[in-house]
Amino acid sequence: MDLLIFDLDGTLIDSKLDLAHSVNATRAHLGLAPIDNECVYSYVGNGAQVLIRKALGPEYTDEQVEAALKYFLAYYRQHMLDYTTLYPGVRECLDRLRGEGVQMAVLTNKPVRFSSDILRGLGVFDHFLRVYGGNSFEQKKPHPMGVEKLLEESGVPRERTLMVGDSGVDIRTARNAGIRACGVTYGFQPETFAEEAPDFLVDTAAELAELVIASRSAAKGVPT
């Protein structure tokens, strides 16, 4: 595996609290009661607009959702690093993979400016060949457009590429692009793997690094 394409929320970063607080700040702005944090977490993965649409409910018009989304993004912009951290072992995993010469990229449905700034704030932005967000292309995940662009830019063939994510959205993205997928069980929505089964499952970032390095050693005929 020569190219790893990472999801962001629930895969590299634990952003649960900042997202939940921002969603409930938006609801409070509209005079609504807060919703349970776990409910917010289940809405994450398809972009900010879908998150806000689900958090408000079907009775809100598209215009009202757009206004609420604007408020949410402004609030989240100010609070997106209040509690957000890298998951345990992620920094070490990224360092190790970079040392092994593995190319890495981020493909998330979160807006690209927010994604890049969070990765910079956490000190790992420079590990990645590219960081692409939900507004980087005409289509979001699970459309394969972002993966196709990364394959083109990296020069890595499909069979040497791995998508890493915490939800069925990431697995569908990999399937649509004809690449393999690895699910992380510590993220937001591991229950979705029951319907969208990944090729590999890991419980920790350290286990992911071992998996990738072992695959590269096997390809070179080096005993692991």
Crossing angle of helices 48-56 and 62-79, rounded to 10°: 120
Local structure of residue 194 (DSSP, 8 states)? G
Cβ-proximal residues to 171 (8 Å cutoff; 6+ apart), any chain: 163, 165, 181, 183, 192, 193, 196, 197, 198
| CA–CA dist 192, 199 (Å, integer) | 14
Name the amino acid, one letter, at 78.
Q
| CA–CA dist 10, 32 (Å, integer) | 27
Whole-angstrom distance between the N-terminal and C-terminal Cα of the chain? 15
Choose, from 7, 9, 18, 166, the residue flagged as catalytic: 7
7 is catalytic: yes
Partnered with residue 14 across adjacent β-strands are: 85
| CA–CA dist 124, 119 (Å, integer) | 5
- Enzyme catalytic residues: 7
